[in-house]
Amino acid sequence: MSETFPTAPAPIVTRLNPGDVPAEVVERLRAGAIVAPADAAVLDLTGPGAVTCFQGLLTSDIEKPGDGAFVYGALLTPKGMIVVDGWAARLGARVRFTVPGEGRERAATILQRSVPPRLARTVDRTADTAVLRVAGAHAVAILGAAGLPAPPHAGHAIETTLDDVPLEIARATDRAPFVYQITLATEHQAAVVARLVRKGAALAEPTALDLARILAGWPRLASEVDEKTIPQEVGYDEIGGVSYTKGCYTGQETVSRLHFRGHANRNLRGLLFETDSPAPPAEGWSAVTEDERDVGRVTSIAWVAGVDRWIGLAVIRREVPVGAVVRAAGREARVATLPFDIPAVGPA
């Protein structure tokens, strides 16, 4: 890879063990709402050419939806491999790109080296900006009860104030692992969290957001995404992470050719581990095999308290059908479609 387009980090298996996400938090995801701080970095691209320049980098379309768009996508290498993913909010002449914490430097590097300074400049807001995410079946109702202005529809972001505190509130797309993202100055985070908790949201740790992500079948940088991952391999078609109608962007040729003329050899799938196994999926073992043939790798594993079952995500060869029994992380598991339906996590 070139220095302009650095590689994604080496993959690890995200693992949530029993106790990492308590049963009461899982229940709030299923029939309530949680609010949790996200491990995220915030980069602002500002200037007269910010929207146009970002449109030429992101896999999704941020121009067509217009001002107030909130879309998920990724920045790619010229060969179409994912460098960093994130949520982009278009507000006026500014694009705010919220990326995983581990993707901060890669996102900043691409923006600084790919965007001419005369058109736009990158400002890293991470140090003084908090990112809260609200997830769960009743997130919409709880946000309303707390008096926080809500965007008019999914995939939209607004700038507003609450008790003279400036906020950016965005509503994610329906398939996303959270419903709302609230971005604000770090010094005001506690007050907004308290307001949501008073109206019924449960304060949770970032691990709860990771569980919601796994249940939604949403890829994570450095787990599902390695240095050779292309968007279609980790479900970007299904989760709305790529546009095939927008203009050119870096890496588009590979992504479009695969879409129109071929197919991905690997796909992101769910794993339902057998409930009668006496031992959990093994740590430090990511192989997925079928009939002793290597067919993929485990990327995320989680214990779902209350349901009392291990689930996981894996990137598996496309010829392995849904319903097949494989051996994953040393234990038998059944390949499942995504998102998981135990428990349901989504907006009301």
Residue 5 has pLDDT above 70, yes or no: no
Residue 1 has pLDDT above 60, yes or no: no
Confidence at residue 275, expressed as pLDDT on a 0 to 100 scale: 83
Confidence at residue 24, expressed as pLDDT on a 0 to 100 scale: 95
Cα 252 from Cα 119, distance rounded (Å):
22
Cα 224 from Cα 46, distance rounded (Å):
31
- Note the pLDDT tens digit of each residue in 49-99: 999 999 999 999 999 999 999 999 999 999 999 999 999 999 999 999 999
Confidence at residue 344, expressed as pLDDT on a 0 to 100 scale: 45
Residue 345 has pLDDT above 60, yes or no: no
Confidence at residue 7, expressed as pLDDT on a 0 to 100 scale: 64
Provide the token pair at 88: 């982009």
Confidence at residue 341, expressed as pLDDT on a 0 to 100 scale: 84
Confidence of residue 262 (pLDDT cuts 50, 70, 90): confident
Cα 285 from Cα 301, distance rounded (Å):
11
Confidence at residue 72, expressed as pLDDT on a 0 to 100 scale: 98
Secondary element (H or E) of residue 240? none
Residue 9 has pLDDT above 70, yes or no: no
Provide the token pair at 140: 């919409």
From the number of C-beta atoms within 10 Å of its C-beta (0-12, 13-18, 19+), residue 50 rates as: buried
Residue 111 has pLDDT above 80, yes or no: yes
Confidence at residue 263, expressed as pLDDT on a 0 to 100 scale: 86
Secondary structure of residue 109 in the 3-state scheme:
helix
SS3 content of the chain, % helix, strand, coil (to 5): 25, 35, 45
Secondary structure of residue 94 in the 3-state scheme:
strand
Inter-axis angle of helices 23-31 and 206-216, nearest 10: 60
Total Cβ atoms within 10 A of residue 347: 21
Give yes or no for a contact between 26 and 313, defined as CB atoms under 8 angstroms apart. Answer: no
Cα 165 from Cα 185, distance rounded (Å):
8
Give yes or no for a contact between 265 and 320, defined as CB atoms under 8 angstroms apart. Answer: no
Of all residues in the chain, the percent with pLDDT exceeding 90 is: 89
* Better pLDDT: 60 or 9: 60
**What is the per-residue burial (b if ≥16 Cβ within 10 Å, else e) of 149-170?**
ebbeeebbbbbeebeeeebbbb
Q: What is the mean pLDDT of residues 199-219?
A: 97
Q: Give the type of residue at 144.
A: G
Confidence at residue 4, expressed as pLDDT on a 0 to 100 scale: 59
If you search the block for the tokens 């010094």, which residue do you land on? Answer: 187
Please give the mean pLDDT across all residues of the chain: 93
Cα 107 from Cα 15, distance rounded (Å):
25
> Which residue, 137, 141, 183, is CA-closest to 28?
137
Confidence at residue 346, expressed as pLDDT on a 0 to 100 scale: 42
DSSP notation for 171-224: E--TTSS-SEEEEEEGGGHHHHHHHHHHTTPEE--HHHHHHHHHHHT---BTTT
- Note the pLDDT tens digit of each residue in 154-198: 999 999 999 899 999 999 999 999 999 999 999 999 999 999 999
Provide the token pair at 322: 């849904």
- Note the pLDDT tens digit of each residue in 281-338: 999 889 999 999 999 999 999 999 999 999 999 999 999 999 999 999 999 999 999 9
| Choice among 6-20, 81-95, 104-118, 186-200 with the minimum mean pLDDT | 6-20
As a residue count, the chain comes to 348
Q: Where are the beta strands (DSSP E) in the chain?
A: 14-16, 34-37, 40-46, 70-76, 82-91, 94-100, 121-124, 129-135, 156-162, 165-171, 180-185, 202-203, 266-273, 287-290, 293-304, 309-317, 325-328, 331-336
Q: What is the mean pLDDT of residues 200-208?
A: 98
Confidence of residue 119 (pLDDT cuts 50, 70, 90): very high
Secondary structure of residue 253 in the 3-state scheme:
helix
Within a 13 Å sphere around the CA of 113, how many CA atoms are in the beta-carbon half?
14
Of all residues in the chain, the percent with pLDDT exceeding 70 is: 95
